[in-house]
Amino acid sequence: HLRSMDALSRFGGDEFMLLLPHASIVDAERICTRLRNSLRRTPLRLEDGTTLMISVSCGIAAADSFETFSDLSKRADAALYDAKYAGRGTHRTAPEDRAQRRVRVG
C-alpha cells in the first residue's frame, strides 16, 4: 500500500509514523483509508491460533517549508488524538497553524 519513497517507523508505544514525501493531504487520506480497510479485512493470526482484529486511526499533517519536524509531528499527533477520540478506524487532518510559522531571515 506504500510507495518506495515512503518511510514507516515506530513513533512510540502503539503509534507509528508514516512519511509520505510529495503527497498531498488527499493522497494521505486515501492511503490511510486503504491501510485501514486492508487491516480490517486481514486479521492478525498469532502462533497460538489467536486471531486479533486490528484497527487504525490516523492523524495527518502536511509540512510546510517553515516548520520543523518536531512541529509537524506534534500537529500530526494532535490530529491522531482527535481521530482516536472520534472512534476507531478514523482519520483526522491537522489544520495548518499559520500563527506558529517563523519568518525566515535570509
First to last CA, the chain: 40
CB 66, CB 87: distance < 8 Å: no
Separation CA 77–CA 28 (nearest Å): 15
- pLDDT for 1 beyond 90: no
pLDDT in tens, 14-50: 888 899 998 999 999 999 999 889 988 998 999 999 9
φ, ψ of residue 5 to 5 degrees: the values are -85, -10
CA dihedral 7, 38, 33, 90 (to 10 degrees): -100
Separation CA 7–CA 4 (nearest Å): 8
What residue ranges do the domains of the chain occupy?
7-93
> What pLDDT sits at residue 99?
47
Residue 104: which pLDDT band, with cuts at 50, 70 and 90?
Answer: very low
What is the fold, at CATH topology level, of the domain defined by 7-93? Alpha-Beta Plaits (3.30.70)
> What pLDDT sits at residue 5?
92
Give this prediction's pTM: 0.78
Separation CA 37–CA 55 (nearest Å): 9
